Structure 1
Amino acid sequence: MNCPLCGYAAHTRSSQQVSKETKERYNQCQNINCGATFVSHESVSRFVVKPKLVEAVNPHPNKYQQASLSL
């Protein structure tokens, strides 16, 4: 996303899920002469393709549950 003030690139510094379909992002402009911080919302507007059946999957293991690779 670009800064709405100066047009330079802005990076997401943090984010939080506010609903099932919306995420709030805190962004900071990378232009050293601007440095604006602003909030944006990312949300689902429509589906292009939806699966007929959504199967539940197990979550990824955390770093303590992962097996080590033997090389």
Structure 2
Amino acid sequence: MLRCPLCRSASHTRTSRYISEQTKESYYQCQNIECSCSFKSVESVDKIISQPAPKPVDKPMTVPAAMMKRNTLGRYGSGFQL
């Protein structure tokens, strides 16, 4: 909501569109019936005050050498004991 530039009453957005990634044009209409002024405004990003921390990059999983040894259980494998 912006105030009407003529009578200072509340106005409502009728429509809007993005001109660029950081700029928006909006059309307003005054809610005061005696005024009913229509006007447009341009909103834009002036400065970024804070932003989220960058996400950590996922490293490929490394498997320890001890886990890479193949354990075979059964009749002919190294897990077989007498």
Match of 1:30 in 2: 31
Match of 2:68 in 1: none
Match of 2:10 in 1: 9
Q: Distance in 2 between matches of 1:32 and 1:20?
A: 35
TM-score by length of 1: 0.71
Any idea what the Cα deviations from partners look like across 1:1-55, whole Å, max 9, x if unmatched?
100000000100000000110000000000000000001011111111022337x
Identity percentage of aligned residues: 48
Higher Cα Rg: structure 1 or 2? Answer: 2
Report 1 or 2 for greater relative contact order, CA contacts < 8 Å, sequence distance ≥ 6: 1
Structure 2 unmatched runs, 5+: 56-82
Structure 1 unmatched runs, 5+: 55-71
Letter in structure 1 aligned against 2:39: F
- Which portions of structure 1, spanning 4 or more consecutive aligned residues, are displaced by more than 3 angstroms? none
Secondary structure of 1:47's counterpart equals: coil
Secondary structure of 1:11's counterpart equals: strand
Match of 1:45 in 2: 46
More helix per residue: 2
Asked whether 1:20 is paired with 2:21, we answer: yes
Count of aligned positions:
54
